[in-house]
Structure 1
């Protein structure tokens, strides 16, 4: 079956096989969080984006191959409930942006805008997007034989940017970063994978940017 990105809590994962990287998307509860397991096809190395919840389920998904890295996209608790258990079981390094790392139960490394995190032979660029939290990040994989793949956490969803809880300064920062660092830089066919719900492309969302900015959320 072709990858759609449509997953439900308690349902099966959806798997996208790229030439060098395999992306497995799963939803965990109780807040319908997305977790993404990335596998380098050449080396078998595994990286998990957001150990959100349901540690046994995530560990079953990881299997016996071992996990090298967990990246937490931001400090909100629904994105790291299973982090401590997953790290304890696998010995994986735990990575987050420096501005959010202090709020996590375990962090072994911090990153900043423009840093590269590798999963086997595949590089993931860290993009710092300030507003949903001070240390929110997206991860960008530029497929050498295909399109860009962008893991946005809670900073960008189909239909708008992440929740800034009515804070005008945080909204201005987030919409500015999302426009400048994502939409102004990356092409329309860039596929993005958010922290909750369905995926989308930058091209599908781009026409709505003026509306998002004018409504203020």
Structure 2
């Protein structure tokens, strides 16, 4: 079962929120003037860890990582606010950098492991599925963890899905159509309502909480 006190509501400069699940501990912290979320996933069996988005404030992130055995940093997409601390985090930990090749050129360090839609990324004994969501950027990805026992399903969506809508596509109809189609087919079409959504900024949500709003999002075009 998840930690009863976990809400996912964190503030820049404030403490991390920690969720203890069977097989995986998920910690969330907010950094920078953009209030970016960074997530530390630690396998409870091995202690190996993975960071989702080394967004900013390298000192904060190093403290956040602590003594975790950080093996991997996944960057959800190429926008600058999601990878400003990547060089420092990689230099301090030796972690392998992971991203989609369509966004790799926008990162400040080489992508050592390019991933495509349907690939998997391991954190210790746990496995995350890579889901490409085209539109916010060409190479935006989400990570889906289908936990053991009663851990549930958890998805880290970067800037592609938030409470209340999909990510910003700069009023480009083609990019919006691409993103909302991918989100509907690859997330809402495959995940249960109770699946927990961890976005790149702001509060968490669930697939079930957002599902009824899909027609409204399509109608408004953003």
TM tier, shorter chain? over 0.9
> Gaps (5+ residues) in structure 1?
none
1:64 CA displacement: 2.8
| TM-score scaled by length of structure 1 | 0.98
Match of 1:122 in 2: 126
Structure 1: how far apart are the matches of 2:79 and 2:43?
A: 28
1:184 CA displacement: 1.2
| TM-score scaled by length of structure 2 | 0.96
The answer to whether structure 1 residue 63 and structure 2 residue 66 are counterparts is: yes
Q: Map of 1:42-61 to 2, 5 A cutoff?
A: 42-61=45-64
Match of 2:113 among 101, 109, 113: 109
1:65 CA displacement: 3.4
Match of 1:163 in 2: 168
> Which digits, 9 at most, give the CA deviation of each residue in 1:18-65, with x for residues without a partner?
010000000001110000000000000010000000001111111133
1:176 CA displacement: 0.2
Q: Map of 1:147-162 to 2, 5 A cutoff?
A: 147-162=152-167
RMSD: 0.8
Structure 1: how far apart are the matches of 2:16 and 2:149?
A: 24
Match of 1:177 in 2: 182
> Gaps (5+ residues) in structure 2?
none
Match of 2:195 in 1: 190
Match of 1:132 in 2: 136
Structure 2: how far apart are the matches of 1:81 and 1:44?
A: 26
1:139 CA displacement: 0.1
